[in-house]
Chains A and B, each alone.
Chain A
Amino acid sequence: MYAFEFKRPATLAEAVTALGAEEAQALGGGQTLIPTLKQRLAAPAVLVSLNGIAEIKGICTDDAGRLCIGGGTTHAAVAKGAGAYPALAALAGGIGDPAVRNRGTIGGSLANNDPSACYPSAVLASGATIVTNTRQIAADDYFQGMFTTALEPGEIITEVRFPVPMKANYQKFVQPASRFALVGVFVAQFKDGVRVAVTGASTGGVFRWTEAERALSANFSAAAVKGLKASADDLIADIHGGADYRAHLIGVLTGRAVAAC
């Protein structure tokens, strides 16, 4: 790790100021950033820990019935406290291992936007809104390719607002080594239609599988997606599985998610 100055502000406002410094970077749970720093793949001059900021932690429901999760809320807290959105709670409870969940945060996961991360699929399938210290970003605008998001430098995710679907389920097929998603599919059924988001599979990061959405909006059953095949174009091929295999898994997991709803 390169040396850096460590700051631990107690308020969002202080954090925003601290992040205004040259080469400053936010630290969430550190479960991605610290291993990255160890590899010397990042070299912030100032690391601004968000862990002391109470105002970006916690879970509540807003007037519109959305489940609002503070950007600094740990996966463990979501697993335990997001009972209003069971599929989301289950997803959070399946990220990494208990020690990772006790430290890693939803804001960190979304800011990082790992193509194999779990949360992005829930956010996209739910049509959630990402709230930052400066603005609100719709999920459909937020994810911009692997490890790329709409966030500006220094922008802090303070909250994520999830509309709660009538039914939803997340199916994660783990990559055997990292245990991130080799493919993960989040299916959410709303009154006005079904959204299906796929993670782990694409070189472009999380994406919506629109063919499946159409089929499921017409007929919300596993049978409706049975014959449907995701395209293998632009899918990830690595030592854990080729593009064909991932394409196949997308279909299988979508069917399973629907069946489990």
Chain B
Amino acid sequence: MPKDGIGASTKRREDIRFLTGNGHYTDDINLRGQTYAVFVRSQVAHGKLNKVDTSTAAGMPGVLRVFTGEDFAAVGGVPCGWQVTDKHGKVMLEPKHPVLAQGKVRYVGDAIAVVVAETEAQARDAAEAVVVDIDELPAVIDMKAAVAGGPLVHDEIGSNLCYDWGFVEENKAATDAAFETAAHVTTLELVNNRLVPNAMEPRVAVGDYERSTGQHTLYTTSQNPHVIRLLMGAFVLGIPEQKLRVVAPDVGGGFGSKIFHYVEEAFVTFAAKVVNRPVKWTAQRSESFITDAHGRDHVTKIQLAMDKDGHFLALRTDTYANMGAYLSTFAPSVPTWLHGTLMAGNYKTPLIYVNVKAVFTNTVPVDAYRGAGRPEATYQLERVIDKAARELGIDPIELRRRNFVQPNEFPYQTPVAVVYDTGNYQATMDKLIEIADLAGFDKRRAESAKHGKLRGLGVNCYIEACGIAPSHLVGQLGARAGLYESATVRVNATGGIVVMTGSHSHGQGHETAFPQVIADMIGIPADSVEIVHGDTANTPMGMGTYGSRSLAVGGSAMVKATNKIIAKAKKIAAHLLEASDADIELKDGKFSVAGTDKSVDWGSVCLAAYVPHNYPLESLEPGLEETAFYDPSNFTYPAGAYACEVEVDPDTGKVKICSFAAADDFGNIVNPMIVDGQVHGGIGQGIGQALLESAVYDENGQLLSGSYMDYAMPRADDVPFYTVDHSCQTPCTHNPLGVKGCGEAGAIGSPPAVVNAVVDALQRAGHTSVTHIDMPLSPSRVWAAMQA
């Protein structure tokens, strides 16, 4: 067993460069002859674009060219990668999203023109001199107003309702009927607050064009360079893949926001050819706020029907989901297939009906943000269960346990299409109770009371679907891409290995964790394996990293390729050992003939593959390099139970997170240290959503929280140390590693825990009318709730 194999908390090798200032992020790239792009953006949320006068700007110092919508009239719009079909069988409305605005602007931040100049400062000066003539139109910001006859965001599609999705439509009548006869119905209306992803590295794109070969290169802050190459090359600019290379070097966090194909990427690629110089665009943070796809933004009414003992009988929800002004790459899938399919949660609710109206508004496009749909599902479900428990006078943990899918009921077919392969929700709950020391809560509460603070406890469960996704299934559901992953494993002549993966690491530590898997499989040190990712020129077509899919899907592709390597290596070893390959065993980096002491080491076999002097050339090709594509047969279903304790200051409404505990089941674990870190980060973001963060628009469509002056990011002193545990493991049954994915769990499971805790604190303090407070639970909101 190698020391850095599966299960070892191997320190991250990528840290060395990040810790010494040697990271290689996109903004660190400066090409010879590089020019700079600065965008002229709409300052109004909605308007008719009459004229863009670039004459002054074009003549300013250093300016090479000013681009407007007209320059892009002949190219495609930025495509949407998922087509949802609504409850009437009608496909969603899909307006064109031009690279630069044509005829109309639709949100504050919409790109109108771009100046390309010798220096960034010159481009910025000239951008200010572009004169934009706009007739401002009334903006529509509120989703319900938008579908109730508000101004049309896109005149040509005739409606602001992108789709009206019902799931599972066949269950609707039965679900409604169950509500008629149920002993108890709990209803909750809530808002899942709109968030700005805020990866700390702002987006950057550098376009380069080699005239002699016709080769385009785009360096971009992306979680999935192949996806960008496909979308931009095929749909926007018409560049064939062999002429387009997309490179995503070190990327400073993504959280979903760097999945999508953005207009700036298409712009720099296009402009580099026109000006025949490299073109660089770097977002300023204030620009990120109004151009990075936002997350969440659901308004939901959820109802839970129960029998007199609290058994769940039926669940129905009505959700308005904001799409913003255009459909971002995966936007339509988030409130539907990533949300409706998770509404069963960890529970046996026989009947579920989910209605989602996706709505266009004059706001920044909304798309997947850490968790994507699953946090929205978990939040409403776990909040309504908490409310139900209070109404029924049943302990909230007991109510959950009563309705859990039991350990012996897997695989479990939910009424919302998905089949959970494994899980043990009782076990994670038991573990949570232990690690969060729930038994000691009353004592801690009394201690808080001594200091005049109201302590509360919030507990909840979550389940998510990761390892995205079986291609044939998502194809039926409207995905316009496959969701497999790929790996090429190249063994070198002296036994070292390079893995070229379609997955992309932007903080997840693939360079460290992936080699651990191979080390384990072959029995060689992990540091003899290198990972290459992020460059379409030297990695096989892969779909990238999001949805906690890298190890479950990308890792599985790597395992598949490595198995091919091992199978071939065994044949070589068999030849060298003059045995049958069926008798060859690989252990600790050594091939031996079963039952004998004959063996040959890994290095000798690799050398033989490349120096095939003594080699079965008639039956085996030389070389040792294999590629595999892995398409999962199901999602994976990480699940767990979370607990949060808070103290509320009764005088000011300020909430302090006293403790946070997470008991997760991620199946098998490759690097526990990295898994802990992923959970910590997710919890931090979840606490941010619950207490601090909110993208707030005024009625004119101006983003009021458009900088860190008003958008509250969680800081070190907003959060405690977290208690995390992943010792409950029910391995995934359908991927070779038995892994489930851990990247989003923290962000999915934590918001309801925090809100449940605050409501609990207020309830215990006698504010019995407070059954819900919408996130973020800012001091002023909590205080106002206490006044009611």
Contacts and interface: CB of A to CB of B under 8 A. Distances in A.
Interface of A: 1-3, 38-40, 173, 176-179, 182, 238-242, 245, 248-249, 252
B704 A239 contact: yes
Given A239-B705, A241-B779, A241-B780, A177 B652 contact: no
B652 A176 contact: no
B441 interface: no
B692 interface: yes
Contact of B652 (A173, A179, A240): A173
A1 B38 CA distance: 13
B651 interface: yes
Contacts of B121: 1, 3
A240 B778 contact: yes
Contact of B784 (A38, A177, A178, A245): A245
A161 to B, nearest CB: 32
Given A239-B696, A252-B652, A178 B779 contact: no
Contacts of B709: 177-178
Nearest to B653: A245
A176 B784 contact: no
Given A176-B712, A177-B709, A239 B694 contact: yes
Contacts of A240: 710, 778, 780
A248 B713 contact: no
Contacts of A177: 692, 705, 708-713
B708 A176 contact: no
B783 A248 contact: yes
Contacts of A1: 121
A179 B713 CA distance: 11
Contacts of A252: 651-652
28 contacts: A1-B121, A38-B284, A39-B286, A40-B128, A173-B652, A173-B654, A173-B779, A176-B778, A177-B692, A177-B705, A177-B708, A177-B710, A177-B711, A178-B708, A182-B779, A238-B704, A239-B694, A239-B710, A240-B710, A240-B778, A241-B779, A242-B784, A245-B783, A245-B784, A248-B783, A249-B652, A252-B651, A252-B652
Nearest to B780: A241
Interface in B680-737: 691-692, 694, 696, 704-705, 708-713, 715
A245 B780 contact: yes
Secondary structure dominating the interface of B: loop
Interface residues of B, number: 26
A178 B651 contact: no
Contact of A242 (B654, B708, B780): B780
A6 to B, nearest CB: 15
A55 B692 CA distance: 43
Given A176-B778, A177-B710, A245-B784, 17 more contacts: A38-B284, A176-B712, A176-B779, A177-B705, A177-B711, A177-B713, A178-B708, A178-B709, A178-B710, A182-B779, A239-B694, A239-B696, A239-B704, A241-B778, A245-B779, A249-B652, A252-B652
Contacts of A173: 652, 654, 779
| Residue with the greatest number of chain B CB neighbours at <10 A, chosen from A1, A2, A182, A239 | A239
Contacts of A176: 691-692, 712, 778-779
Interface string B773-784: 000001110011
A182 B783 CA distance: 14
Listed from nearest, the 6 A-B pairs whose CB atoms lie closest are A241-B780, A177-B712, A176-B712, A245-B780, A178-B709, A252-B651
A182 B711 CA distance: 14
A201 B780 CA distance: 13
A103 B709 CA distance: 19
A227 to B, nearest CB: 14
A198 to B, nearest CB: 15
| Residue with the greatest number of chain A CB neighbours at <10 A, chosen from B694, B712, B715, B784 | B712
Nearest to B694: A239
A18 B691 CA distance: 48
A177 B784 CA distance: 19
Contacts of B704: 238-239
A206 B577 CA distance: 88
A242 B784 CA distance: 10
A128 to B, nearest CB: 27
B186 to A, nearest CB: 30
Contacts of A3: 121
A245 B715 CA distance: 24
Nearest to B649: A252
A119 to B, nearest CB: 18
Contacts of B784: 242, 245
Nearest to B718: A176
Contacts of A2: 125
A10 B337 CA distance: 66
A95 to B, nearest CB: 15
Nearest to B711: A177
A241 B779 CA distance: 8
A40 B124 CA distance: 10
Nearest to A255: B651
A3 B119 CA distance: 13
Contacts of B715: 179
Interface in B745-788: 778-780, 783-784
Contacts of A242: 780, 784
A40 B128 CA distance: 10
A38 B784 CA distance: 37
A252 to B, nearest CB: 5
Nearest to A2: B125
A245 B785 CA distance: 12
Nearest to A3: B121
Interface string B416-440: 0000000000000000000000000
A124 B286 CA distance: 34
B297 to A, nearest CB: 16
Contacts of B696: 239
| Residue with the greatest number of chain B CB neighbours at <10 A, chosen from A38, A240, A252 | A240
A249 to B, nearest CB: 6
Nearest to B710: A177
A159 B277 CA distance: 53
Contacts of B651: 252
Contacts of B654: 173
Nearest to B783: A245
A241 to B, nearest CB: 4
Nearest to A173: B652
B266 to A, nearest CB: 27
Nearest to A180: B709
A195 to B, nearest CB: 23
A122 to B, nearest CB: 21
A38 B712 CA distance: 21
A40 B780 CA distance: 33
Interface string B670-685: 0000000000000000
A105 to B, nearest CB: 20
Contacts of A241: 778-780
A177 to B, nearest CB: 4
A178 B713 CA distance: 9
A179 B717 CA distance: 12
Nearest to B654: A173
Nearest to B284: A38
Nearest to B714: A176
A248 B704 CA distance: 24
A40 B286 CA distance: 13
Nearest to B784: A245
Contacts of A239: 694, 696, 704-705, 710
A179 B651 CA distance: 19
B202 to A, nearest CB: 14
A39 B30 CA distance: 24
A249 B654 CA distance: 11
B692 to A, nearest CB: 5
A2 B712 CA distance: 29
A238 B696 CA distance: 11
A107 B710 CA distance: 25
| Residue with the greatest number of chain A CB neighbours at <10 A, chosen from B651, B691, B694 | B651
A5 to B, nearest CB: 15
Nearest to A245: B780
